[in-house]
């Protein structure tokens, strides 16, 4: 029995029936730490941790410093992020802050497609990610601009066709854990053991994605998505537990309430706290830091790498 099979067994409390064993055996390629993904024929390597810069097209963001009033302003911000060392640009037009109002697919596309096309036109070599939980949006964007990473904060729980769609179009997929939806996720999140429960749900998602033939999976424990302050810090404290997946780990902590509530401040004043938790995440095995502020995250990585070299 492989380590991955043992992990699935522990997390899901189900017997390893033959069908289940076949699925986990097909995922055996993940037993050697996956350090790259294939995006449209180009390999993105995560041997060294990297930064994903956040671009919000939606004006409804918990951090107003991440929104833009014009395409020109947005492109200037992207250029700044790339100059400061971002490897990936993540674009979204669907607010996922706690209690956010759900917009229609039509409205999401109306803002997202022009933004992604503008970035691709001005920065054609830059790997792009789209922050959406709708499979139809992912399809439309890819039809318009080509392969992108799909960053689904719902982990396939909102759109039942997402996993099948990703398997069909074969683009990298960020599998994020969430409890509930953005509208209700913070009402009363509860876990028996947050690390165990999050791991179990992510393992089920990996299993299902693998069954659909998805080759490039990244995982995100979903800080702030259906978690209390204590849940978030337990996940951060035991982030190295997610190394068992042998998949790239994405961490999004930037200016979130788990930072500014502890400091008794605001998202606008939470940059220093964000740098601290990002450094902790790197020590826990994070491969990608998803941030609003690229330069401090790149500097955290540089210091982390120096620390590793001194061992």
Question: Domain 43-309 maps to which CATH number in 3.90.550.10, 3.40.718.10, 1.10.3720.10, 3.20.20.20?
Answer: 3.20.20.20
Residue 94 pLDDT: 84
Domain boundaries, the chain: 43-309
- The model's pLDDT over 147-196, given as tens digits with 9 standing for 90+, comes to 999 999 999 999 999 999 999 999 999 999 998 777 566 777 789 999 99
Residue 153 pLDDT: 93
Which regions of the chain are under pLDDT 50? 1-30
Pick the catalytic residue: 77, 140, 255, 290? 290
Question: pTM here?
Answer: 0.87
Residue 3 pLDDT: 42
Residue 96 pLDDT: 67
Residue 70 pLDDT: 87
* Residues 113-141: b if buried by 16+ CB within 10 A, e if exposed: bebbebbbeebeebbbbbbbbbbebbebb
Please give the biggest Cα pair distance in the chain: 56
Mean pLDDT of the chain: 87
Question: Alpha-carbon distance 29 to 213, whole Å?
Answer: 12
Residue 184 pLDDT: 60
- The model's pLDDT over 38-64, given as tens digits with 9 standing for 90+, comes to 999 999 999 999 999 999 988 755 555
Concerning whether 134 is annotated as a catalytic residue, the answer is: no
3-state secondary structure 166-228: HHHHCCCEEEECCCCCCCCCCCCCCCCCHHHHHHHHHHHHHHHHHHCCCCCEEEECCCCCCCC
Q: Which residues pair with 45 in a beta bridge?
A: 36
Pick the catalytic residue: 256, 261, 295, 308? 256
Concerning whether 290 is annotated as a catalytic residue, the answer is: yes
């Amino acid at each position: 029995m492989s380590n991955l099979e043992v992990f699935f067994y522990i997390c899901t409390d189900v017997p390893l029936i033959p069908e289940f064993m076949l699925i986990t055996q097909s995922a055996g390629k993940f037993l050697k730490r996956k350090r790259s993904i294939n995006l449209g024929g180009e390999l993105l390597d995560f041997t060294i941790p990297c930064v994903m810069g956040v671009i919000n097209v939606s004006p409804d963001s918990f951090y107003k410093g991440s929104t833009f009033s014009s395409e020109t302003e947005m492109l200037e911000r992207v250029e700044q992020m790339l100059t400061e060392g971002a490897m990936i640009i993540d674009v979204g037009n669907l607010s996922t802050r706690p209690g956010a109002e759900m917009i229609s697919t039509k409205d999401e596309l109306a803002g997202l497609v022009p933004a992604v096309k503008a970035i691709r036109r001005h920065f054609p070599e830059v790997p792009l990610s789209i922050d959406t939980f709708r499979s139809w949006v992912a399809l439309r964007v890819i039809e318009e601009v080509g392969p992108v990473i799909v960053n689904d904060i719902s982990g396939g729980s909102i759109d039942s066709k997402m996993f099948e769609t990703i398997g069909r179009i074969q683009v990298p997929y960020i599998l994020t854990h969430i409890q509930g939806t953005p509208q209700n996720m913070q009402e009363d999140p509860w876990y028996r053991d947050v690390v165990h429960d999050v791991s179990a749900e992510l393992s089920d998602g990996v299993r299902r994605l693998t069954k659909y033939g998805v080759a490039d999976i990244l995982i995100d424990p979903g800080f702030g998505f259906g978690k209390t302050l204590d849940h978030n810090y337990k996940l951060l404290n035991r982030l190295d537990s997610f190394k068992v997946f042998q998949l790239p780990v994405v961490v999004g902590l930037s200016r979130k309430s788990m930072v500014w509530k502890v400091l008794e401040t605001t998202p606008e004043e939470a940059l220093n706290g964000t740098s601290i938790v990002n450094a902790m995440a790197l020590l826990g095995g994070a491969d990608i830091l998803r941030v609003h502020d690229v330069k401090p995250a790149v500097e955290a990585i540089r210091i982390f790498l120096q620390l590793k070299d001194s061992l």
